[in-house]
Structure 1
Amino acid sequence: MLVEPPESVWDFATAVGADPDDDLVAMGADLEPGTLLDAYRHGVFPMPADDPRAGLLWFCPQLRGVLPLEGLVVSRSLRRSRRDFEIRVDTAFADVVAACADSRRVGGWINADFAAAYTRLHELGWAHSVEAWREGRLVGGLYGVAIGGLFAGESMFHRERDASKVALLGLVDLLSDASAGSRLLDVQWQTPHLASLGVVQVRRGGYLRRLDRALRLPLPAAFR
């Protein structure tokens, strides 16, 4: 059940239009649930700064990474691998976030404040994990924020080969309902790895128009 938190005191609508040529659109603010939800509803997401004194950084990329639900690249080997895993939803959210935040991961950015903030969103019904299990063990997964027809992916991990890809495949399956054509699976930025899975780049204006349509949709059944 969704619980709407108190409204944010920050205005992300004006932040997005502040500098159309920069991915970084704001600095500061906080990670309160209302702040996070308002940011995602305006196409903005947070990242910690390299220098803790700089506080939070808020991004709305000029070129946004989006995975079209019909465009996920599923290799023959991945189709075989998926049979070895069980997909679960929201049974180990904190464990998924902890695995994604593991300090041993190259390029890891999730700190204790971020882990706590998204755990609060999960407790309010807005953040979800899609998990890959094998023989009773959590071996891969992802988490993100679901608002209407938007799923904003935050991070993913794997402990066994293909486990994170199978979790992504599971997420696409969960989103592929009668509203699939208007749903929006946001992955922030396109990387070579994500491009190999079918992630494309969408210009900021096009993304915001798609976001506006997506937010009007109902949640997928798995996240209600």
Structure 2
Amino acid sequence: MTDWLGPEEWSAVMLSLKVALWATLGALVPGVFVAYALARWRFPGKQIINGLVHLPLILPPVATGYLLLISFGTQGIFGSLLAEAGIVFAFRWTGAALAAAVMAFPLLVRAVRMSIEAMDPKLEQAAQTLGASKLWIFVTVTIPLILPGILAGAVLAFAKAMGEFGATITFVSNIPGQTQTLPSAIYSFLQVPGGENAALQLVGVSIFVAMTALLLSEYIGRRLAQWVSAS
């Protein structure tokens, strides 16, 4: 692949994989927690939280990127405080990961929430009657039963992070070798004469990565479903 792709294209591919991986990992734990809270808990403002979680699906990605910029930029509300601690997101690959995680978060939450709502709550109640704590029930009963949903959500989040463009380019710009991901590189090549072939190559890489992730998740999902049903 290194012979097929040039240094700039290869850099965009590797950065996209890096950004998508960290975005998925960063969204995973809070995503499962929020999904469980929305599926099982009753609390004031639940619908507002639900709306905020799904807001990135409704807002234009550029608007989400701008909100991230004014919040986590070096002069932003949170960004200025983080900058004093040496943590900078704006115009860095970490900012691309943050933007991708924000955009992928609703998809992860929806997939996990649907899995939790499909699970029989009597299984958790039975464990509770045996004296197990809520945390222990969550770890030993809930998590194993919703593993296929978590996997599906993680794959959706990874795919969304790989393809994120609007929020990313608004928040971290399109700097080759630093913040230029696959979609940004494709866009850049399409803006210059003769760049169509390079753009097409990157589109092919995107399809390959997406299909590989999908097929792998299907295989792991079936194995997990078999393990859950046998246990």
Using the size of structure 2 for normalisation, the TM-score is 0.29
Ranked by relative contact order (alpha carbons within 8 Å, sequence separation 6 or more), the top structure is: 2
Higher strand share: 1
* Larger CA Rg, structure 1 vs 2: 2
